[in-house]
Each structure stands twice: as C-alpha cells, then as structure tokens.
Chains A and B, each alone.
Chain A
Amino acid sequence: MTGRPALVRTAVTVLVFIALEVLCLVMIANNSVVQRYKILGEIRETQASLWQRTSEIRSYFSLKKDNRALVQENEDLRRQLSLYEALASQPDSVFHNLQGSYSYTAADIVKSTRGKQHNYLLINKGSRAGITEGMGVVSPNGVVGIIDAVSDHYAYVISFLNTEQSISARLTKSDHFGLLRWEGVNPHKATLTEISLYCGAAVGDSVATSGHSSIFPPDIPIGVISKVKPVSGLYLSLEIDLFQDFSSLRHVYVVANDDREEIEELIEEGGGQE
C-alpha cells in the first residue's frame, strides 16, 4: 500500500525537476544570445539524430516494400538501357544526349510533413555530400521537391506538396507543357495549367517533367490526367493523379544539373539585354 504513493511522489518530484530545469533553460536561452545559439543548436542536433533513428527503424520495417520498388526501378532502367543500346548500335543514327549532364545522389528522408499547406522534408545529405540550394529532389515515381537550405549533414527540401511550388511539366503524347502545382487539398492530385485548348489532352494521358528548367531533367514521369477542364475558353486545366505517394516516400535522389551554372549565366546575360 505504501509503495504506490512513494512511487507517485517520486514521479511528481522528477516531473517538477524536469519542468523547473526546462523553464530555467528557456529563460537562459531568452536572455543570452550565445546560450540560445548553443542550446537551440544542441536541441536541433538531437532532434535530427532522433528523426534519423526513427526513420531507420521505419525503413527497416519497410525493407520488403523498398526491395520490390528497387526491382521495379531496375527493370525500368534495363528497359531504357536496352533502348539506348539499340539506338547506339544503328550505324547511321545520330545519338544526342538530350537529358544534358545530370548527376544523382541518393538520400534518405529523416523527417517530412504532409498535412500542411507548406510541406517540407529533411534529408540526410548536406553540403558535405555536394548538395546545394536549388537542386531538385526526385524519386522513381516523380518529382519530390527542391532543396531550400543545407547544413553539413542535412538538407531542407520544399516539398512538391507546397502551394507556393510549381514545376514545368508536359503532356508526353503531344509535348504541350504548362505549370504543375499542388492545390493544397489532396496529396495525390495536382493541377496542370496553361495548357493549350488544342493539345488533344484526354483522361489517362501521362504527364512528365518538361526539362525546361535547369532543376529537373526531362521525362521524369509525374502522373496521369484524371480530369480535363477548360478555363475561360482559353486554356485547359488538367487534374493530374500523381504517381508519387508522399506518405510512403523514404528514399530519394538529389538531382544536380552539372550545366546549371552555365545555363543560369546565359539566362542572366539574355535578361540583361532586354
């Protein structure tokens, strides 16, 4: 009988101790810049490592699913490779590297949000792995987002599920392109706007990246049209069912366009003449 009150008293004492110490730390952080910097730094480092651990545990339990996805990706790559080999073996064919020079860095997601209007992801590769701001993030199922900030070991990615983010996408059948944007409601759907009325888009047609930006390479599959809607009799607004399921996303690739600097310099020069 006496055991329980003693246990409760100990628990209350521990809670009071933790509460008072946390209160003190908050006051110290609010009253001194150096202490705030250090304390918040430690908290963020601990948070990131905690997220990494939980992410590792989660990914361990999803190994089977990941393996299946990798097998599927391998199959797709082999198919593409055999196509390129066939093209290259024809003696009179002119083989252009239409995709430019892109390099990929694999990364794992350590934290992500999906339920907000401005969602983000945190990946476990940072400036030490050559990641810089403005690089694209993709997965085999489509576009994931754009790198917004980097630390030594982590990078902050503005998710495609962000109402302020839009990417250039095209209809694979007709090559018409427009802006693809998430509307902030359904994480499985996005809207492709500014598409010509005469593009002949139909439900079931597929949509991929256009390659018109220096961030994402062309032809990354994004989704299929689920609804076609004319806007003011001028353009079409297409509802797209995304291939990417952000709730099961764990592994991504950071895409670096090796010619990005050159392209941006050229754009700047062009802009200067206007």
Chain B
Amino acid sequence: MKDSWGRILFCTILLLIQIVLSGYVNVGPYIYLCCLPLLVIYLPLDQDAGVSMFIAFITGLIVDTLCDGIIGLNAAAAVALAAARRPLYAACFSKDNLERAVIPTIQEAGVLRHINFILASLAVYFIVYIGLDSVGMESLQTTVLRFVLSCAANLAIILALDYSMFNSRK
C-alpha cells in the first residue's frame, strides 16, 4: 500500500516537472525536455508488459494534453519504450538484477552501465517521438541533431532526478 502511494506521488511529481519544463523552460527547437521516459523506465519490472504499456500510454496522453503538443506523440513514444524496457534492461544489467526485478542505483550498477541503460531507453523514446514529430518536414541532419541534443539534455536531467530521487533507495 505504502509502495503504491509512493509510486503515485512519484508520477505526480514527474508530471508536475514535465508541465514546468514544457510551459516555462524554452531551450530552442532542437531540444525537447521530457521526464516521461524516467517514469516509464521506473515502472515495476515484475509487472506485466501489457499493463506497463497501458500505464505508459495513459501517462503519455496526460503529458500530451497538459503540454499542448500533438496528442498521441508522447503516448506513442512511451508505449514503445515500455515495450522495449525489459530487453534493454536485460542487455544492460546482470541476470541477478533481472531476477530481483529492481533497477539498480548508479552506485549498484556502476555509472557506465546505468548511463548505457538510460541512454538506450532515451534513444528508443526519441526515435519514435522525433520520427513521428518531424515526419517528412525536416532534413535528416536536423532530425539527427534534434535527436542527439534531446538525448543528451534529457540524459543530464534524468541522471540528476535519478540521483536526487532514488539515492535514498540504497
């Protein structure tokens, strides 16, 4: 019960941060700041993949609605990330972690492995998001630049949030 309330609080805080980022932080056209991937990454690993995708879809829709974007963009990217989460996790962390169904902290897994996992997750998210957002409108160079800069900026934000919110988990 306590765990559920903790998760709801975590989701609410992330949604609030997302609203602030979308509404008040302007970093230009090449960077899209989004903490929705963090929310999807930290969904319970032992949870059924279908349920995870559904939660990702709903939260994506909420973000799309609250942030005045094209409805469905964040939802499509979040669902793709929720689907790819377990294979990415298995590729980045040890089998022991997968059996425990807990995402290890930076201290537990090591900085490099942790960054690899977050970066791979962000790549999946932004391939779908930027792919659908700039479909047929932007040149390949612009799209790639947008992808690289968005991944880098969001990696920094997620690592900061990750460190501040989950450091006590250890």
Contact = CB atoms under 8 A, between A and B. Distances in A.
**Chain A facing B: main interface SS:** helix
A38 B135 contact: yes
A70 interface: no
A255 B72 CA distance: 47
B70 A24 contact: no
A252 B137 CA distance: 38
Interface stretch (B2-10, B76-84, B147-155): B76-84
B122 to A, nearest CB: 19
B119 interface: no
Interface residues of B, number: 20
Contacts, number: 58
Contact of B54 (A16, A24, A31, A38): A16
Contacts of B71: 27-28, 30-31
Contacts of A25: 72, 76, 132
Interface in A20-77: 20-21, 23-28, 30-32, 34-35, 38-39
A24 B79 CA distance: 9
B79 A20 contact: yes
A13 interface: yes
A16 B50 contact: yes
A24 B53 contact: no
Interface in B57-95: 57, 60, 70-73, 75-76, 79-80, 83
Nearest to A13: B49
B136 interface: yes
Contacts of A35: 70, 132, 135
Contacts of B49: 13, 16
B164 to A, nearest CB: 31
B76 A28 contact: yes
B137 to A, nearest CB: 6
A234 interface: no
A38 B76 contact: no
A12 interface: yes
Interface in B114-151: 132, 135-137
21 contacts: A13-B53, A13-B83, A16-B53, A17-B79, A20-B53, A20-B57, A20-B75, A21-B79, A21-B80, A23-B57, A24-B72, A24-B73, A24-B75, A25-B132, A27-B71, A27-B72, A28-B76, A28-B132, A32-B70, A35-B132, A38-B136
Interface of A: 9, 12-13, 16-17, 20-21, 23-28, 30-32, 34-35, 38-39
Q: Give the top 7 A-B pairs by smallest Cβ distance, nearest first.
A: A27-B72, A24-B76, A28-B72, A16-B50, A24-B72, A38-B136, A13-B49
Interface of B: 48-50, 53-54, 57, 60, 70-73, 75-76, 79-80, 83, 132, 135-137
